[in-house]
Every structure is written in C-alpha cells, then in structure tokens.
Amino acid sequence: MVTNQPVGIEYNGTDTTALAGWYCIESINSTNGYSIQLNAALSTAMGIQDVYSTESNSSTSPTYFNSNVWTSSLLHAKATGFINASCAWLVMAINDGYAYFGYSLDGRNITWYDSYPVGNASIIPGMATGIALAGYGYGAQAQLGSGTLVYLALYYWNGTNWVPAPVELGRYLTDETVNNAWVFTNGTCGGVVSLPNPVNETICPGPPGFKP
C-alpha cells in the first residue's frame, strides 16, 4: 500500500537512450484528475517527462499528452491537443543531443510531438526513472477511490531491440502523488495499481513495433 507518494514502478536496468512505457486504464476513480507519467533522470542531471493527464484537477477534465524538461526548475513544456487514450505507449528517446517525446495508440506507429536539446545524455536507472500514476500536475495529489485498476509496463532500448525492463516498486518518480493505492510488480516489465484491493497479476504486452 502506497500513501502520499506516486504509485508505480521504477527502472532498475542499465543506462539507455530510450524508454517505452505502456499503460492501460481498466478503470480509474479520481475525484480531482490524474496523470500517467513516464519519467527519466538523465546523466546530465536533467529530468524529462512524457505524460498522459487530465488538463486540470477535475474528474471530468479532458486528457492530453504533455512533455516536461527539468533541472532545478522547469525548462520546457509542451502539450498536444485533447486526446482520449485509455491505453497507449509513452515514448522518450535521445538522438543526436535531443530528447524526443512521443506516444503510440496502437504499438506500431508513433507520433513524436516534442523535442528539446539535452546534450550528450543518457537515461539512467534509479528512483526518478520509471512509470507512475499520480496527480494531474503542479504537485497535485490524485484522490483515488474504489474502482481503480491501472496496468503499467516498461521497456528499454538495448541499441537494437526493445527489451522488457527490470523494475522494482517505485520510490520517488515524481512530485505528484496519490492519497493511497496498492501497487504490485513481478520485477520484469509489469506493474499494476489497484484500489480497494491488491491485484497481484501484471500484464506485460509484447514489445512495440516502432523504433526510437
């Protein structure tokens, strides 16, 4: 059971140039919005985020994808138009000194919607890298209630292929939090967030068909 923290799985693999995070919202009960965040710490002490979230702290707010780039403060942010995507892939890749942000609704085609210069960086493992369910943004807390079931999964790029990521239960991951939820991981790729009861069964979809 996680309280007053983001709830998800963190990356426990090797340095990489790309992460693909899958989420599938079977059901969610949040009275004030939510986000699914793919977060990555970079070797250059920057942080990047690819996020699917509600626009505001409202359960009826429309959803979109948005990016963020951080150091000690926010350097860059961009959002797509409103998109309803209860299941999708979030993708971040570093090529030629730029971080690219994208999403895929079918696991085969990817829409890159933003980029930002990050220099000679790589994505590093640790408590700030992974995929999580949390508040919609601006440090908000998602007030979750009974009827929440969200599957998460994480892949990393080994230079040639997407590989199921070694993961562990998330610790920090982001400033946004949830009031309480159960989280479980099998340690390889998959995680699941649930309330009111723990669900000890993850889903790890096959690797996506797109390339970073």
Assess if residue 209 is contained within a domain. Answer: no
Q: Answer whether 133's CB lies under 8 Å from 142's CB.
A: yes
Q: Identify each DSSP E strand in 55-189 by its residue range.
A: 63-70, 74-79, 87-95, 98-104, 111-117, 123-124, 130-134, 141-142, 148-157, 162-164, 167-169, 177-185
Whether the Cβ atoms of residue 139 and residue 175 lie closer than 8 Å to each other:
yes
Q: With respect to residue 7, please indicate whether it lies within any of the assigned structural domains.
A: yes
Residue 146 lies in a domain: yes
Q: What is the pLDDT of residue 89?
A: 98
From the list 94, 38, 45, 101, the residue with the least C-alpha distance to 72 is: 45
Distance CA 127, CA 105 (A): 27
Query: CATH number for the domain including 172?
Result: 2.60.120
The pLDDT value given to residue 27: 98
The reply to whether 110 falls in a domain is: yes
Residue 88: the pLDDT is 98
SS3 state at 25: strand
Domain count, the chain: 1
Predicted confidence at residue 128, as pLDDT, reads: 97
Domain assignment of residue 208, yes or no: no
Indicate whether 16 belongs to any domain. Answer: yes
Instruction: Return all residues near 123 (Cβ < 8 A) that are at least 6 apart.
Output: 11, 15, 16, 17, 18, 19, 40, 41, 42, 43, 92, 94, 129, 156
Residue 97 lies in a domain: yes
Q: Which domain holds residue 139?
A: 2-195
pLDDT tens for the chain, residues 1 to 212: 999 999 999 999 999 999 999 999 999 999 999 999 999 999 999 999 999 999 999 989 999 999 999 998 999 999 999 999 999 999 999 999 999 999 999 999 999 999 999 999 999 999 999 999 999 999 999 999 999 999 999 999 999 999 999 999 999 999 999 999 999 999 999 999 999 999 999 999 999 999 99
Q: Which of 186, 203, 152 is nearest to 25 (CA)?
A: 152
Structure tokens at 157: 């790029």
Tell me what pLDDT residue 63 has: 98
Query: 25 lies in a domain?
Result: yes
